[in-house]
Each structure stands twice: as C-alpha cells, then as structure tokens.
C-alpha cells in the first residue's frame, strides 16, 4: 500500500516538471521579446486619480490581508476537523515562501525602476502573486464541491480567481513587479498546488498504518 502511494506520487511529479520547464522557457522568451518593458510602459499610462489611490492603499496592506485570509481559512478547516487539509494549506504556503526567497536570491532580478510604491528586495518571482494563487486555488479545491447550487458554485470559483487576478494586477499596476514575475509565480504556485494535492490524495503527510 505504501509502495503504491509512493509510485503514484512519483507519477504525479511529471506535470510539475513540465510546468517548471515552461517556467524556464517563459523566462527566456520574455527577455527576447521585451514583454516586461512593453507592459511596464502601458501600465504607467493608467496612473492617476481615484484608481491609483485604491491600488496604493491595497499595495500597503495586501500582505497583511493575505496572511489573515490564510489564517482564517486554515482555522476554519481545523474547526471542521479537516486537519490534513489545514496542514496542506499551511505547508503549501510555507513551501511557496521558501522557494520564492530562494529563487530571488539565486536570480537577483531588479524591480522596475519607476515604482509607485517603494519595495525592497528582488523581483522574481512575485511573492504576493504566489501566495494568492496557492491560497485561493486551494480554497476553491477545499470548498467548491460543498456548494450545491451551481450558480453559487460558479460565483465562488469566479470570486477566487478574481482575487488572484486583483492581487497580481495590483503588483503590476504599482510597478513593483514585471509581468513575468507574475507568470513565474503562477507556474511555481501551480507546481506547489499539484504536489500538495498529490501528497494529500496519497496520504503522504500522514503515517500509513499498513507501512511495513
């Protein structure tokens, strides 16, 4: 039983490896075609007025909002006695945080030089985008099947995807990230989600009673 779980887990590594390959290819193509600079210039034309004030506000407090949202979701899963799901959520976010910072130290990519909001550290990948895609995608996975009404279910899924987009767009709008920082975060986030869900399905996080 345990050996079969390990085999299934290894098979499920194929897709994440392909995603990582796409991640590298995307990074190379973005450099060749100057996608980052084109988006950076277009975004600057949207600055000003009430819209800018909104994004500046969320830019200041977005990290706090995301962390609080993660804690609420994890606590809710724990209260529902869905201990494995709560553990998977926290471990996925921690793994994302660690990999994000490792990649930033390795790549040392500079942020755009015309930000609306001053941010320290390196640019690639976007930590906010990575955190949001892991958090809200797992929220969809853990709760969408519990919603019986189709309209509410679609609305719930759409809302979570909208939140992912909003977080990402905020970072690009403020010019604290390049667009490929967002794409890279998405690919890394999807990889982490697939690995985490594979581990969850195969009871990788708990000791198997049949293990010999």
Q: Indicate the pTM of the whole model.
A: 0.80
Total number of domains in the chain: 1
> Concatenated DSSP letters for 31-79?
HHHTHHHHHHHHHHTT-SHHHHHHHHHHHHHHHHHHHHHHHHHHHHHHH
Considering the domain boundaries, does residue 65 fall inside one?
yes
Cis (ω within 30 of 0) for the bond into 157?
no
User: Domain range spanning residue 156?
Assistant: 2-201
- 199, 88 contact by CB (below 8 A): yes
Considering the domain boundaries, does residue 159 fall inside one?
yes
Considering the domain boundaries, does residue 95 fall inside one?
yes
Considering the domain boundaries, does residue 208 fall inside one?
no
Q: Which residue has the tokens 């553990």?
A: 87
Decide: residue 183, CB within 10 A, 0-12 exposed, 13-18 middle, 19+ buried. Answer: buried
Q: Supply the pLDDT for residue 56.
A: 86
- 15: three-class secondary structure by DSSP: helix
In terms of phi and psi (left: phi > 0; alpha: psi -120 to 50; beta: otherwise), the region of 203 is left
Q: What is the pLDDT of residues 58-114, one digit of tens each?
A: 888 888 999 999 999 999 999 999 888 899 999 999 999 999 999 899 888 888 888
Residues near 62 by Cβ (< 8 Å), separated by ≥ 6? Answer: 128, 167, 170
Considering the domain boundaries, does residue 206 fall inside one?
no
Q: What does the alpha-carbon distance between residue 76 and residue 94 come to, in Å, rounded to a whole number?
A: 18
Considering the domain boundaries, does residue 210 fall inside one?
no
Q: What is the pLDDT of residues 150-197, one digit of tens each?
A: 899 999 999 999 999 999 999 988 888 888 889 889 988 988 898 888
């Amino acid at each position: 039983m345990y050996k079969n779980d390990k085999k299934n887990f290894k098979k499920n590594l194929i897709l994440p490896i392909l995603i990582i390959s796409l991640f590298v290819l995307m990074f190379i193509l973005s450099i060749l075609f100057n996608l980052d600079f084109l988006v950076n210039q277009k975004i600057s034309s949207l600055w000003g007025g009430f819209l800018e004030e909104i994004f500046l506000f969320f830019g200041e407090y977005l990290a706090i909002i995301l962390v609080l949202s993660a804690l609420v979701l994890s606590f809710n899963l724990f209260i529902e006695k869905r201990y494995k799901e709560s553990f998977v959520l926290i471990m996925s976010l921690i793994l994302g945080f660690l990999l994000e910072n490792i990649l930033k130290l390795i790549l040392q990519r500079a942020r755009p030089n015309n930000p609306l909001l001053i941010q320290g550290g390196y640019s690639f990948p976007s930590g906010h985008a990575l955190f949001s895609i892991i958090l809200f995608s797992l929220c969809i996975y853990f709760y969408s099947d519990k919603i019986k009404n189709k309209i509410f279910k679609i609305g719930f899924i759409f809302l979570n995807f909208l939140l992912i987009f909003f977080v990402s767009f905020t970072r690009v709008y403020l010019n604290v990230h390049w667009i490929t920082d967002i794409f890279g975060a998405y690919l890394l986030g999807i990889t982490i989600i697939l690995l985490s869900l594979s581990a969850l399905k195969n009871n990788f996080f708990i000791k198997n009673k049949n293990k010999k």
